[in-house]
């Protein structure tokens, strides 16, 4: 595992990670654990959680997993309470649970739109709302995984764009409300990230992968390790004065404003 950080930055802290059984959420959880945090992983499937927990513990970290759906407020509330009892007050709250499928507005039902908004936006609300009483105050760091969809419009992604824009504003409002309690709240905006469920859905074949990579100013996919480095920084004391920020880690994708997805129009040739 690569990390630019060498010290045990999160010793004694507790991290609660939704969307923690795979992808970007798991990569960040692994990084928190490698730096001494006790990590609670939240995902919908127990089998995936078991594999993820085993990976962290075999690497010498402390982790556990609770299967629940972030759309279910009572379930997430219970998981947070169990975490606080087992691991102590929560210093790191990472809202990473997300859903996506490519479809035009006229190709999705109201329930399809709702499914993504409920997982991404309502799920983030449920998690932060239920977590507040268990957060370390002062000192906790709250992170949400957003996307360039929050400020760029993409065809086939209206549901995700609406949800991610909501997440960015929710987090900025929280930064205002929770700042006086010493709780920092920030967003991380990944670009196209290799080896994630999202990219497998949006760029399922080699041709679309090449097109997506060509649309990134740095001309490549990002890695989960690069995102984990940013999450570690934002949770560390090195970021003690940073709140209400939207941090881009996307190879410049957001400023280029190119459409990502199976049907976007290729225009970058250099």
C-alpha atoms less than 13 angstroms from C-alpha of 75 in its C-beta half-sphere: 12
Is the Cβ of residue 116 or residue 150 nearer to ligand COA in the bound state? 116
Is the Cβ of residue 193 or residue 243 nearer to ligand COA in the bound state? 193
The span from the CA of 168 to the CA of 185, in Å, is 10
Is residue 164 flagged as an active site residue? yes
Maximal CA-CA distance, the chain: 55
C-alpha atoms less than 13 angstroms from C-alpha of 251 in its C-beta half-sphere: 20
Closest distance to ligand COA from the beta carbon of 38 (Å): 26
Is the Cβ of residue 35 or residue 250 nearer to ligand COA in the bound state? 250
**Contact between 157 and 101 (Cβ < 8 Å):** no
Closest distance to ligand COA from the beta carbon of 204 (Å): 12
Is the Cβ of residue 100 or residue 243 nearer to ligand COA in the bound state? 100
Choose the catalytic residue: 21, 146, 215, 254.
146
| Local structure of 164: helix, strand or coil | helix
Which two tokens mark 23? 């992808």
Closest distance to ligand COA from the beta carbon of 156 (Å): 9
Cβ density class 218-234: b for 16+ within 10 Å, e for less:
eeebbbbbbbbbbbbeb
Give the Å distances, CA to CA, from 83 to 114, 125, 175, 179, 241.
29, 18, 23, 23, 27
What is the end-to-end Cα distance of the chain in Å, rounded?
33
Any bridge partners for residue 90, and if so which?
135
Is residue 48 flagged as an active site residue? no
Choose the catalytic residue: 13, 164, 224, 258.
164
Place of tokens 């960015």: 168
- Interacting residue ranges for ligand COA, rule: CB under 6 A: 98-101, 103, 107-109, 111-112, 115-116, 119, 197-198, 201
| Local structure of 223: helix, strand or coil | coil
Closest distance to ligand COA from the beta carbon of 119 (Å): 6
Is the Cβ of residue 24 or residue 128 nearer to ligand COA in the bound state? 24
Closest distance to ligand COA from the beta carbon of 193 (Å): 9
Closest distance to ligand COA from the beta carbon of 196 (Å): 7
Which two tokens mark 254? 């957001």
Is the Cβ of residue 90 or residue 143 nearer to ligand COA in the bound state? 143
For residue 64, the 8-state DSSP code is E
The span from the CA of 69 to the CA of 19, in Å, is 9
The span from the CA of 63 to the CA of 97, in Å, is 18
Q: Which residues are catalytic?
A: 146, 164
């Amino acid at each position: 595992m690569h990390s630019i950080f060498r010290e045990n930055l999160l010793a004694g802290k507790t991290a609660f990670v939704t969307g923690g059984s795979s992808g970007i959420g798991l990569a960040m959880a692994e990084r928190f654990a490698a730096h001494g945090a006790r990590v609670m992983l939240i995902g919908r499937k127990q089998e995936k959680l078991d594999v993820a927990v085993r990976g962290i513990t075999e690497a010498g970290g402390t982790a556990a997993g609770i299967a629940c759906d972030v759309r279910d407020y009572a379930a997430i509330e219970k998981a947070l309470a169990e975490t606080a009892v087992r691991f102590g007050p929560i210093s790191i709250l990472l809202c990473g649970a997300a859903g996506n499928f490519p479809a035009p507005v006229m190709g999705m039902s109201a329930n399809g739109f709702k499914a993504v908004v409920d997982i991404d936006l309502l799920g983030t609300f449920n998690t932060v709302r239920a977590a507040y009483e268990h957060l370390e105050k002062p000192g906790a760091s709250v992170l949400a995984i957003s996307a360039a969809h929050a400020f760029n419009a993409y065809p086939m992604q209206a549901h995700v764009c609406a949800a991610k824009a909501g997440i960015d504003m929710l987090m900025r409002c929280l930064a205002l409300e929770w700042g006086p309690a010493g709780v920092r709240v920030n967003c991380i905006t990944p670009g196209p990230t290799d080896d994630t469920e999202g990219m497998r859905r949006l760029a399922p074949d080699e041709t679309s992968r090449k097109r997506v990579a060509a649309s990134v100013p740095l001309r490549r996919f990002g890695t989960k390790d690069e995102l984990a480095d940013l999450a570690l920084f934002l949770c560390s004391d090195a970021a003690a004065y940073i709140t209400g920020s939207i941090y881009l880690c996307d190879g410049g994708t957001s400023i280029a404003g190119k459409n990502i997805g199976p049907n976007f129009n290729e225009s970058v040739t250099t």
